[in-house]
A = this chain, B = another copy of it.
Amino acid sequence: MSPSTYNRKDEASVNTLRLLAVDMVEKAKSGHPGLPLGAAPLVYALFTRFLKHDPEAPDWPDRDRFVMSPGHGSALLYALLHLSGYDVSMDDLKNFRQARSRTPGHPEFGVTPGVEATTGPLGQGFAMCVGLAMAERIMAHLFNRPGHDIFDHNVYALVSDGDLMEGVAGEAASLAGTLGLNKLICVYDDNHMTIEGSTDLSFTEDVRARFLSYGWQVIVVADGEDLQSLNLAFENAIAEQDKPSLIMARTVLGAGSPKAGKPEAHGEPLGPEALKAARQHYGYGDKEPFFVDERVRNNFLERAKTHTERRKRWEELLDSYGKEWPELRAELDRRLAGLLPDDLEIRLKEALTFPGDKPVATRTAGGQVINALSTMLPELVGGSADLGPSNKTLISAGGSFLPLNPGGRNIHFGVREAAMGAVLNGLALSGGVIPFGGTFLVFSDYLRPAIRLSALMKLRVIHVFTHDSVGVGEDGPTHQPVEHIAALRVIPNLCVMRPADAHETGALWMVALKRKLPSALILSRQNLPVLDPSEYPGVIDGPAKGAYVLKEADGSPEALVLASGSEVSLALKALELVERKENVRVVSVPSFELFEEQTPEYRESVLPAVVTKRLAIEAGVSFGWEKHVGERGVVISNEDFGFSAPAEVIFDELGFSPAKVAEAVNKLLG
C-alpha cells in the first residue's frame, strides 16, 4: 500500500488510538497520556503498513518485533494491540493498571500477547532491541537456505528523549553501529519535553549527529503527524542494507489537549476538562469514552486478514524447508522450544576432565565448559564486555561476530557492561539462542538494571562474573567485589552460584542451562584445588542442590562449617589444623537459591537444626548468612573494602588463612 492512500479512515484510526489511551488513563486515575497523544501516528504507520506480524499468532518466530522502549506509553500500545486484533479486549483496556490485568502500568512480557519485552526503565527497551536484531542475524545465518529465508524480520522500537539520554542506549547504539544491524529501526518520539521541562534544560545535544557518528542512518520527519512522510521514512529504513536506522519524528507531548507541549501532559490523567477538549479536538466531542467507530475497527481488521495470510505462507515455507532439510528443521524446533539436546549433560560430563593434582581457577574451568559446550550446544552465544581473555569466555575457534562474519561465535560487547546485560535479554527474548555474558563480578553493578528485567521476564540469561573477591589482588578495591554476591542474592528469580572448584563449575553451568531463569556464575580469578570426587563424592551431584555435605563428621556433627567458592578449600585446609576435626561437618554452599528450592527434609539433613555451632566463611559481606548460621553462628567475612596487594597477603590479613579459620573453629568447638 502506498503512502498516497492515507485518508480520513487513517486519521480517524490514529485519533481513536489517542483517545482510547487517554480514556484508559482517565479511568485508571493513573498513567501517561502525553506520549500516546503525540506518538500515535508513529506507531499507527508502523503497525498498519510495515509491521510483519499476526495477532492470531503472537509467537510466530519470524514476526517483526516491536518494543515500546518508553514503557510509560503502555496505554497506546494496548490500544494498538486491541485494535490490531491481539487478545486484548475492550474490558482489558478498561482494566488498565488494575491488579492482575492484562494491561499493567508498563508493558510486561508474558502478561500481554504482543508485548515483546518488559519496558519502563528508560534505555533498556532500546538496548534489548539491539539484542533482538543480533538474534535475527544469528538465526538467519544458521538456518536460512536458498529460497528459504526462515528468518527475515525487522526489529522496531519506539524510543523517547529519556531513552536516548540513558547511557545504556548510547552503549547499545554504538555497538549496533559497529555491527551494522540494518534490521534495527528505531522511531524517535522527538517531543523536546522531559518531566522537568524543555530538553533545553538538560538535553541540547544534536541527536542526529550523534547517531550518524555511531554509523546509523538517520531520517528526519519534520512533522510526526504526517503519515506520508512517516511512510517514506520507514521505506527508506527498511531499504537500508548496512546500517541501523533512526527515524526522528518531531512530535508534541500531549498533542491536541490543552496541556500540549507542557510537562504536565506526561504522567497524570488529563482530567475531565482537558480530556473533553482533546476529544473535541479529535472530532469525537459527542462520543462516550472508549468509543470505537466501526470504520476504524474494520480498518484494522482488514489488515489483520492479510497478516494471517502472510504468516500462513511462512508456515508453508517452513514445511517445505522441513522436507528438504529435516535435520535442520528438527534442530530449529528444538531450539525454538528452548529444549536442550537430550544427551547434553552426559556429553558435557564426559568432555570435562579435571585432574585432581592440578589446581584450576573456576574462571578457567568455566572457560573449559564454554568451549566444550560450543560444539554441543550451538545455541550458546555470548561474549564479554572486553574482558574475554580474563573472563575465559572466549570460544577458541569461534571467530568474532562481525558484519562480515555473522557466524562468529564471540560477541565483542566492548567496555559496555550495561548494554551487554540488555543485549543478552534481547537475545533471550528472540528465542532459539541461549545467551551468556562475562565481566568482572565488581562490574555486575552495571548490569543490575538489565538483570532485574531478565528476572522479571524469567529469561534464561547466563552471567559469568569472574574475579569474585579480594582474591583479585593487586588491582585493589575498585576491582575487588565485597558486597556483590549478597547484592545479587537479593534479586528475586536470579540464581547466584559460586562454585568451589572445577567440578562444581561444570555442575552449576549445567544447572544454569536447565533453568528458565537468569543465573549468575561467580568464578575465581585464582587457582583452587580440584576436589577429588573419590574423596568428596558430593561434588558431582551436590552442587545442584545449592548446599551439600562435602566432608562428614564421625558420627553426629558437633559443628558445621559452611563455605562457598574459594573458601571451601580453605575450610578443608583449616580443618586439618583443628583439634577435634572429626566432630566437624563441612558443607559446601554454592547457592542460597538452589538450597531454598530443596525439600525441608533435605535442608534439615544438611543443616540439622540441633547443631547450633556453625561457622560460615565467605570472602564478602556476611549480610544474609545469618539465616544459615543462626544467632550463635559466626561468619568469617569481609565487611569493608579490600586493598591493593598480592592476593595471599590480603587473604591472610583479612583472616582467610587456614590458621585463622582453624582458630575460629577451635573456639566454636570450645
A residues lining the B interface (CB < 8 Å): 28, 30-31, 71-72, 97-101, 104-106, 108, 118-123, 161-163, 165-171, 174-175, 177-178, 194-197, 201-210, 212-215, 263, 267, 384, 386-390, 394, 400, 402, 412-419, 442-443, 445-446, 448-449, 452-453, 455-456, 473-479, 482-483, 486-487, 489-493, 621, 623-624, 626-627, 630-631, 639-641, 643-646, 649-650, 653
Contacts and interface: CB of A to CB of B under 8 A. Distances in A.
A387 B162 CA distance: 11
A483 B491 contact: yes
Given A99-B653, A456-B478, A473-B30, A166 B171 contact: yes
Given A106-B479, A445-B452, A412 B177 contact: no
B97 A645 contact: yes
A255 to B, nearest CB: 21
Nearest to A447: B445
Given A170-B170, A205-B178, A626-B626, A106 B476 contact: yes
Contacts of A402: 201
Contact of A624 (B215, B624, B630): B624
Contacts of A482: 492
A202 B104 contact: no
B415 A165 contact: yes
B178 A171 contact: no
A477 B456 contact: yes
A99 B643 CA distance: 7
Contacts of A646: 30, 97-99
Contacts of A161: 415
B478 A71 contact: yes
A613 to B, nearest CB: 14
Nearest to A401: B201
A393 to B, nearest CB: 10
Contacts of A167: 166-171, 416, 418-419
Copies in the complex: 2
A623 B487 CA distance: 10
A384 B165 CA distance: 14
A167 B120 CA distance: 18
A122 B490 CA distance: 26
A479 B120 contact: yes
Contacts of A212: 206, 209, 213
B205 A174 contact: yes
A560 B433 CA distance: 51
Nearest to A592: B623
A581 to B, nearest CB: 26
A414 B175 CA distance: 23
Contacts of A490: 483, 486-487, 490, 621, 623
A449 B119 CA distance: 22
Nearest to A446: B449
26 contacts: A28-B474, A30-B474, A31-B474, A97-B645, A99-B643, A99-B645, A99-B653, A105-B475, A106-B479, A118-B478, A120-B478, A162-B415, A165-B174, A166-B417, A167-B169, A167-B419, A170-B171, A174-B203, A178-B201, A196-B386, A197-B412, A201-B414, A202-B386, A209-B212, A490-B623, A493-B641
Contact of A166 (B415, B621, B643): B415
A413 B162 CA distance: 11
Given A166-B171, A486-B490, A412 B202 contact: yes
Given A100-B645, A105-B479, A207-B213, 4 more contacts: A99-B645, A167-B171, A170-B171, A206-B212
A360 B119 CA distance: 30
Contact of A413 (B108, B202, B446): B202
Nearest to A418: B167
